[in-house]
Structure 1
Amino acid sequence: MFIFHKETTLDDLGNGVTRRILAHDGNMMAVEVNFEQGAIGPMHNHPHEQLTYVLSGEFEFTIGEEKHVVRAGDTLYKQPNIMHGCVCLKPGTLLDTFTPIREDFLHG
């Protein structure tokens, strides 16, 4: 399967955050999330496993009880149902991978 950037849609989530679903099948989904400085990814949890790769920028992430500043090249793993969220310290982009796919992103 090939997915071309020009064929994807950028969704404005408000408050300085945009999301682009890059690819998905029945088991896995890749999503680009862009943050303006100061934008917040509110604390939340979900039943999906999630890997986040920091493409650019700087973020303060909280996963469970841990809090760290991450930058381009850093990777985070979030196990199912763990509370997590972030604050964008410098404008940046994250690449999120979920399994199983986030049906709520497709139909929300």
Structure 2
Amino acid sequence: MTVKNYFPEDESERVAVDAGLSRKVGAHNDNLMVVEVHFDKGVTAPLHHHPHEQITYVMSGRFEFTIGDETYIVGAGDSLYKQPNIEHGATCLEAGTLLDVFTPRRDDFL
């Protein structure tokens, strides 16, 4: 099996998820994936859950994140952890970009 080590920016396209919300998949293998997520101001990613562990790094913008029964206002440089199957969602308060890391890989994003 050949392992892909390099994922050039121009080989991955930004995909519209919903109005004002798009994502771009970066490097990934079976066990790990990185995804850039772009939000326009006011867009909400509704509460949801999945079996993957997830870390979110805020690259830019401001967001209100709900994870379980806790809510956080976060900005550039902040990061969040979401354990498997925990309800979570976010509302974009100021247009921005998140970097999500999933383990294992989100096959539904490919």
TM-score range, shorter chain: over 0.9
Q: Distance in 1 between matches of 2:17 and 2:53?
A: 22
Q: Distance in 1 between matches of 2:19 and 2:83?
A: 26
1:74 is aligned to: 78
Alignment of 1:19-38 (within 5 A): 19-38=23-42
Q: Distance in 1 between matches of 2:44 and 2:23?
A: 13
**Alignment gaps of 5+ in structure 1:** none
Distance apart, 1:58 and its partner CA: 0.2
Q: Distance in 1 between matches of 2:34 and 2:51?
A: 16
- The equivalent position to 2:54 in structure 1, one of 45, 50, 72, is 50
The one-letter amino acid of 2:95's match is: P
The one-letter amino acid of 1:38's match is: G
2:69 is equivalent to residue 65 of structure 1: yes
Give the share of equivalent positions with the same residue, in percent: 55
The one-letter amino acid of 1:28's match is: L
- The equivalent position to 1:94 in structure 2, one of 98, 107, 110, is 98
1:12 is aligned to: 16
TM-score by length of structure 2 reads: 0.95
**Alignment gaps of 5+ in structure 2:** none
Which segment is superposed worse, 1-10 or 59-68? 1-10
Matched length? 106
TM-score by length of structure 1 reads: 0.96
